Structure formats: C-alpha cells, structure tokens
Amino acid sequence: MLLCPACRPLPAAALGLAARRRLPRHHGNRRAALSPAPVAARLRSAAGSGEAGGVLRHLLLKLRSTGPVTVAEYMREALTNPGQGYYTRRGGVGEDFVTSPEISQMFGELIGIWYLSEWMATGKPNVFQLVELGPGTGTLTGDILRVFNQLAALLNKCDVSIHLVEVSPKLSAIQAQMLTGGKVQSTPENKSSYMEGISKAGIPIYWYRDIQDVPQGYSFYLAHEFLDALPIHKFQRTEKGWCEVLVDIDPEVPDQLRFVLSPSRTPATENFIQPEETRDHVEVCPEAGVLIQRLACRIEKDGGAALIADYGHDGTKTDTFRGFRNHKLHDVLKAPGTADLTADVDFSYLRKMAEGRTATLGPIKQREFLKNMGVDLRLQVLLQNSRDSATHAQLLHSFDMLMNPKKMGDCFHFFALLPHHRLVHPTKKDSPQSKSPLPPVAGFGELSLK
C-alpha cells in the first residue's frame, strides 16, 4: 500500500460541516394554478445503499496505488465519475436539495426578463443564443422560454437558440422531456453537441458536455447553482507555510476515508494562493476560474452577458465544503457518489478571473436582485389571477422562501459579466466628463425596458 507516511491526519473538527445552504424541499406544487407551465419533474430516489460501493471502491484502489488525492479530484470522482458519479446516476435536484427555480416560476420568469432587458439595451441583435450551464431538471430554461414565448411579438425577428451544457445523461434525459416532450435525437460524432431537439414552441435546443463545444456568437450565459458543484482545492496555513488538504484512507478503519495535510507545499499551493491572502483556510475552485475566463473572452469578443447565481461570499469565508443527501447534511467523506457535494462560490475570485475583459456587477443578494426585477408586482399579478386559497398560500410560501433573508434571500447572490461598453453612459461617449449616472442594468439597479 502506497500511503503517504508524512501526511498529517486532520481532526474532523478542523473541517467541520458548515451551515446548510441548499434548502429542504418545500411542500406542495411550485406552480400557480393559472400558469400554463407543467408541474416540475420530480425525481425518485435511485440511490440504494448498495450503490455506495462504486465510487468508493474506485477511490480506494486509486488511493492504495498512488497515495492521497486532492479534494478537487475526490469531488470530481464523487460528482461526475462517468459511471458512478452523483450527478451521473442520481441527479439530486428535488430529492437531496431544492433550488430557487424549482420553488417558484417567478424566479425563472424574472431571469427571462433580465435577458430580454439586456438584449434590448444592446440594440436587439437579430440572433442570440441562451446558454445554460448545469440546467438540472430544465425548469429554469423552461420558465425563461415561456417568457420568450409570451413576448414573441418583441422577439419575432430574432433567431433564438438554446444551448445546454450538461454532463449527466440522466439529467439531460429529464431536460429533454421537460423542454421538448422527449422529441430529441443524438447527434453524429462529428458534431459538437451530443443531442438536439426542438422546444415545444419551436426553438432549437442543443446539448453539450463542455462550454468549449458551444458555438461562439452573441450569447446570454446562465449558471444557477452550477459553480458550487465544481471541484475545489482546500488549503491550510501551517507553521511550515501553506499545505493542501488531501483525501486518504484511514489506516485505523477499513475502507474509511479521512482528510490529511500534504507534508509540504504542492503545485496547487504555489499556483492558487494569493500572496496577500490573510485567511488560514482557503478554498479555490480553478474550474470556476477557467470558466469565467472563457465566458469573459466570449463576451468581450461577441457581446452578450453572463448571469451567475449561487450561494457564496466575497473572499471572506474559509471552510464551506459540505454534502447533502435526502435534504440533510451528509459527511462529505461517507459513501461518495450518493450525496451532493458543494462549496460556496468565491465571487472575489470570479471577479479576478474576468481579468478586466468584461465589466462585473455584484454579487448582490437574491432578495435585492429579485426586488429590483419586480418580484413584488409579479406576485400580486399571480395572486390576482388565482382563485383558490391553496394556490394563494403556495405563492406566498414560495415568495417567502426566495426572499426571506433567513431563507434564500440573503445567502444566494447574483453576479454578472457585461461588455464594458454596456456600462458607458451614451452621453459619456461624447463628453467623458459628464456626471450623469451609469445606465441601469436590470436587477443590479431598477428595471427599465426601453
């Protein structure tokens, strides 16, 4: 057995589970009675205890032959291992955690309005792509498409297409059912997408495994609770300097995993820790950084915008790595592949990784963003249009879930990438000394559809 004798075990308390963020499932139907949208697909639990073996067995073999792995490698295996990963087999949305779009149609509708407002503010180009990363059940894109459909007169000369980046075969099948009624086909090997179909309203939809496969062009990008699922590295400051937290086999308990510290600096400690870092424990998600670089390059070159919504912080938090199973916190090292693993998004890191190629806005709290987008008015309209008291109660409950600071209102944030010219006030182009305020960007300021 090739164990790393110099690795120091970390006491569990040193990596204690952080506060819950993803929320337990609410009761009842998310939809208002008069909504034309179908009830969100619900997933049934597929993870019996027997499934736990897959990822764990694979990891134990790997750890025995090559020694401890980084937390990022552990997370990648647990979540997206092609045969046994959590997202590959189980999916999670609705059964282990619930997300804002699954709680209320208002959420996706207001995001749909956000994209339309940006499209209008940039001169209504006659072609645009909506690109969603990690679409889950497809509910969010479905709600956005319903808004586009209701405002079809506005978009009538515009060629819209949908591009979904999804690694999970199970979830892409659910998305296909939700968005096309199952009318999809696999695409030939030589195409960049792996599946394509047509939405119920006739909009083409394509599926990809990686953002790099999505065609270039004026695009609106959306990542809702996606970045928190990407693998993180964890680092601990010690007397010897920065060390990386690794995952290893516990020598005292058969087939059990434990955290250890690398004996010295690693390539990751050299590359990912900022010299000015003041925290003692840091999580870095390089895949999120690379993704932001790619989005910023695309937006700089082709125009469009990216909206990123997730729980997170602005470079202040330390240990946020946690697991969820059946709406409860789950030990991240137990039964990998059967629970969702997640870490808070560091928005200060995302801002840095945009490298000034685009302007960035936020993070702004979910309740402020939705308020600026007119969620109060939308709630009133839905309440007026519904006649039964159960729907009323449901609407008020879901509004509270989204907006209450103690629920999702304060811990979820919105962050945007926009072309620099979008934030230059028209009068400033001609007279840079002008003191007129920046043009409002919906959500981050007041919504104005002109």
CB of residue 85 vs ligand SAH: minimum separation in angstroms? 9
d(Cα 450, Cα 445) in Å, to the nearest integer? 15
Specify burial of residue 167 (Cβ count, 10 A radius: 0-12, 13-18, 19+): middle
CB of residue 122 vs ligand SAH: minimum separation in angstroms? 25
The residue among 79 and 379 lying less far from ligand SAH, judged by its C-beta, is 79
> Using CB under 6 A, which of 224, 351, 367, 378 touches ligand SAH?
224
* Residue list 245-284, contact with ligand SAH (CB under 6 A): none
Closest CA to 128 of 307, 302, 361, 358: 302
* Residue list 89-118, contact with ligand SAH (CB under 6 A): 93, 99, 101-102
CB of residue 317 vs ligand SAH: minimum separation in angstroms? 20
The residue among 290 and 393 lying less far from ligand SAH, judged by its C-beta, is 290
Closest CA to 326 of 45, 99, 48: 45
Task: Give bridge partners of residue 159 from the DSSP assignment.
Answer: 127
Closest CA to 62 of 83, 77, 82: 77
On whether the CB atoms of residues 68 and 258 are closer than 8 A, the answer is no
> Using CB under 6 A, which of 134, 197, 289, 323 touches ligand SAH?
134
CB of residue 168 vs ligand SAH: minimum separation in angstroms? 4
CB of residue 182 vs ligand SAH: minimum separation in angstroms? 18
The residue among 35 and 168 lying less far from ligand SAH, judged by its C-beta, is 168
The residue among 166 and 244 lying less far from ligand SAH, judged by its C-beta, is 166
The residue among 161 and 175 lying less far from ligand SAH, judged by its C-beta, is 175
Candidates 47-55, 220-228, 242-250, 274-282; binding stretch for ligand SAH (CB under 6 A): 220-228
CB of residue 310 vs ligand SAH: minimum separation in angstroms? 9
Candidates 107-115, 160-168, 264-272, 318-326; binding stretch for ligand SAH (CB under 6 A): 160-168
The residue among 87 and 444 lying less far from ligand SAH, judged by its C-beta, is 87
> Using CB under 6 A, which of 107, 218, 226, 444 touches ligand SAH?
226
Task: Give bridge partners of residue 312 from the DSSP assignment.
Answer: 345
Buried b / exposed e along 381-418 (16+ C-beta atoms within 10 A): ebeeebeeeebeebbeebbebbbeeebbbebbbbbbbb
> Using CB under 6 A, which of 118, 225, 319, 344 touches ligand SAH?
225
Number of residues that bind ligand SAH (CB under 6 A): 20
Tell me the Cα Rg of the chain. Answer: 22
Residue given tokens 């090997």 in the structure block: 189
* Residue list 136-155, contact with ligand SAH (CB under 6 A): 136, 140
Residue 363, preceding peptide bond in cis (omega within 30° of 0): yes
Residue nearest to ligand SAH (CB): 134
CA 185 to chain centre: 26
Specify burial of residue 449 (Cβ count, 10 A radius: 0-12, 13-18, 19+): exposed
Provide the Cα torsion 65, 68, 72, 73; round to 10°.
0
The residue among 101 and 304 lying less far from ligand SAH, judged by its C-beta, is 101
Candidates 104-112, 134-142, 239-247, 297-305; binding stretch for ligand SAH (CB under 6 A): 134-142
On whether the CB atoms of residues 350 and 296 are closer than 8 A, the answer is no
Buried b / exposed e along 324-359 (16+ C-beta atoms within 10 A): bbebeebebbebbbbbbbbbbbbbebbbebbeebbb
The residue among 166 and 283 lying less far from ligand SAH, judged by its C-beta, is 166
> Using CB under 6 A, which of 165, 284, 296, 408 touches ligand SAH?
165
Closest CA to 207 of 219, 218, 195: 195
Q: Which long-range contacts (CB under 8 A, 24 or more apart) does 194-199 make?
A: 199/145, 199/162
- The reply on whether position 129 binds ligand SAH by CB under 6 A is no
Residues that bind ligand SAH (CB under 6 A): 79-80, 87, 93, 99, 101-102, 134-136, 140, 165-168, 171, 224-226, 229
